[in-house]
């Protein structure tokens, strides 16, 4: 992985990713973060000064495990991921707005979008690292944190399923209006990632587009320790 992270993001097959996002709401992409960088990110977990807050998930009945929110300034790799993914996803976000008959409100760059969050009092950084040990899990949820939210987020696997842990599949639950919900199970190799909707996706119906609500979570880790990295684009209240 010689090229820069920004170059590797630009080199993803965005045509196919956009088609998958429009067609199914989510899109996985192959390993983008090198094994070394994954190890370095895992090593940040123990560096208290990098984080603004640590959540014991069981305390809030969110699941079983722990996560930590990085504080600004973010480690450069996270900053590059957040800034690098935002512009392409803002295009999709605006297209989705238009499908739903709404204004294309998402600015072209991350700093402009964060300025909108900050204007609404959403000042706290949201990228996070999650750690689950054997028996850990993450209940189905959404990550909204305020009135301003970006409709996509990205999650990366930092270690390797079957080698470092078993179980621990990423789960997406799609609630369909007046119908039963549909589940999606996604497994990612180390360094690979998934783009998924924060809250809903537009689906074509006979009379225009309607919204399916989505929630995400993680199934039980049956052995080992699973680490993941969450890139959320909006800041939090
Ligand atoms: O650990 C995971 O894969 C889920 C992370 C998550 O909930 C998030 O990135 O918002
Ligand atoms: Fe989440």
Q: Check which CATH number belongs to the domain holding 178 and give it.
A: 2.60.120.620
Q: Which ligand is nearest to the CA of 230?
A: 1
Q: Which of 57, 125, 133, 138 to mutate to test the pocket of ligand 1 (most atoms within 8 A of CB)?
A: 138
Residue 228 has a pLDDT of 98
Residue 3 has a pLDDT of 84
Going from the Cα of 79 to the center of ligand 2, the distance in angstroms, rounded, reads 18
Cβ of 143 below 6 Å from ligand 1: yes
Per the listing, tokens 């964060």 go with 114
Q: Is residue 48 part of a domain?
A: yes
Q: What is the pLDDT along the chain (237 residues), one digit of tens a residue?
A: 668 999 999 999 999 999 999 999 999 999 999 999 999 999 999 999 999 999 999 999 999 999 999 999 999 999 999 999 999 999 999 999 999 999 999 999 999 999 999 999 999 999 999 999 999 999 999 999 999 999 999 999 999 999 999 999 999 999 999 999 999 999 999 999 999 999 999 999 999 999 999 999 999 999 999 999 999 999 999
Residue 212 has which token pair? 């399916």
Crossing angle (nearest 10°) for helices 76-99 and 14-24: 50
Find how far residue 98's CA is from the centre of its chain: 22
Q: Is residue 237 part of a domain?
A: no
Q: Is residue 63 part of a domain?
A: yes
209 CB burial (10 A radius; 0-12, 13-18, 19+): middle
Q: Is residue 198 part of a domain?
A: yes
Going from the Cα of 13 to the center of ligand 1, the distance in angstroms, rounded, reads 23
Cβ of 75 below 6 Å from ligand 1: no
d(CA 218, CA 137): 5
Residue 101's domain comprises 5-232
Number of domains the chain is built from = 1
Cβ of 169 below 6 Å from ligand 1: no
d(CA 82, CA 195): 12
CA distances from 43 to 39, 81, 135, 175, 191 (A): 6, 18, 22, 37, 15
d(CA 12, CA 127): 21
d(CA 147, CA 103): 16
Going from the Cα of 230 to the center of ligand 1, the distance in angstroms, rounded, reads 6
Q: Which residues contact 140 (CB under 8 A, 6 or more apart)?
A: 171, 173, 215, 216, 217
Task: Specify the residue with its C-alpha closest to ligand 1, atom 7.
Answer: 217
Point out the ligand 1 atom lying closest to the alpha carbon of residue 231.
Answer: 9
Residue 136 has which token pair? 């850990």
Residue 71 has a pLDDT of 98
**Which residues pair with residue 124 across a beta bridge?**
236
- Phi, psi values for residue 97, rounded to 5°: -60, -45
Point out the ligand 1 atom lying closest to the alpha carbon of residue 143.
Answer: 10
Q: Which residues contact 2 (CB under 8 A, 6 or more apart)?
A: none
Cβ of 216 below 6 Å from ligand 1: yes
Q: Which ligand is nearest to the CA of 221?
A: 1
Cβ of 133 below 6 Å from ligand 1: no
The answer to whether the CB of 67 falls within 8 A of the CB of 217 is no
Q: Is residue 222 part of a domain?
A: yes
Angle (CA) 183-162-56 rounded to 5° is: 65
Point out the ligand 1 atom lying closest to the alpha carbon of residue 229.
Answer: 9
Cβ of 198 below 6 Å from ligand 1: no
Residue 2 has a pLDDT of 61
Q: Is residue 18 part of a domain?
A: yes
Interface TM-score (ipTM) > 0.90 = yes
């Amino acid at each position: 992985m010689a090229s820069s992270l920004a170059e590797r993001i630009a080199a993803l097959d965005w045509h196919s990713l956009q088609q998958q996002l429009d067609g199914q709401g989510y899109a996985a992409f192959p390993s983008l973060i090198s094994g070394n960088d994954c190890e370095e990110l895992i090593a940040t977990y123990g560096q208290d000064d990098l984080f603004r807050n640590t959540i014991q998930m069981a305390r809030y009945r969110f699941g079983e495990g722990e996560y930590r929110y990085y504080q600004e300034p973010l480690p450069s790799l996270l900053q590059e991921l957040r800034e690098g993914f935002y512009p392409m996803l803002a295009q999709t976000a605006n297209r989705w707005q238009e499908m739903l008959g709404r204004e294309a409100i998402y600015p072209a760059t991350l700093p402009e979008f964060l300025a909108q969050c900050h204007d609404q009092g959403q000042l706290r950084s949201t990228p996070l690292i999650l750690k689950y040990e054997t028996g850990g899990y993450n209940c189905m949820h959404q990550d909204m944190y305020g009135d301003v939210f970006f409709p996509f987020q990205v999650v990366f696997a930092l270690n390797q399923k079957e080698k470092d842990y078993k179980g621990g599949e990423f789960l997406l639950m799609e609630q369909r209006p007046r119908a039963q919900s549909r589940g999606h199970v996604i497994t990612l190799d180390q360094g690979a990632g998934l783009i998924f909707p924060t809250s809903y996706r537009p689906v074509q119906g006979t009379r225009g587009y309607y919204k399916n609500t989505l929630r995400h979570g993680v199934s039980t880790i049956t052995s080992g320790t699973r680490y993941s990295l969450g890139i959320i684009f909006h800041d939090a209240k």
